């Protein structure tokens, strides 16, 4: 196990919450699928948390990330035996945390004592 003093860590420079209108594609039965969406202002290395405004039986969000500059990726999971299409044109809440000293490559440049 790594020494805790060797782990990259630091503070959050910015935190903000966005309302982003999304129309996800259908998700096949008994699977998970990552879909990408434009989200202006997001950078690689940002921590992304996504909340769908309504519940849909069998559909969940199981992951989210900044895929590239101005692009977020959301992984939807369908736990049913039928295809599910997430509700169109809903306003998702997207929380963005930007760590201190994270480069566009996503590698921390924070000095650790």
**Domain-located, residue 107:** no
Residue 109: what pLDDT? 45
Quote the DSSP letter at residue 38: E
45-84 pLDDT per residue, tens: 999 999 999 999 999 999 999 999 999 999 999 999 999 9
**Domain-located, residue 106:** no
Give the chain's domain count: 1
**Domain-located, residue 109:** no
- In angstroms, the Cα distances linking 63 to 34, 72, 94, 112 are 8, 11, 12, 28
**Domain-located, residue 40:** yes
Parent domain of 27: 10-99
Q: What proportion of the chain, given as a percentage, has pLDDT over 70?
A: 81
**Domain-located, residue 104:** no
**Domain-located, residue 35:** yes
């Amino acid at each position: 196990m790594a020494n805790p003093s060797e782990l990259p860590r630091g503070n959050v420079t910015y935190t903000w919450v966005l309302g982003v209108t999304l129309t996800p594609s259908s998700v096949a039965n008994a699977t998970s699928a990552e879909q990408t969406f434009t989200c202006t202002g997001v950078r690689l290395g940002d921590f992304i948390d996504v909340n769908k405004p309504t519940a849909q039986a069998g559909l969940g969000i199981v992951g989210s990330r900044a895929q590239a500059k101005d692009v977020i990726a959301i992984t939807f999971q369908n736990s049913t035996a039928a295809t599910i299409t997430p509700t169109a044109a809903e306003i998702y809440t997207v929380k963005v945390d930007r760590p201190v000293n994270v480069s566009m490559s996503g590698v921390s440049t924070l000095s650790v004592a």
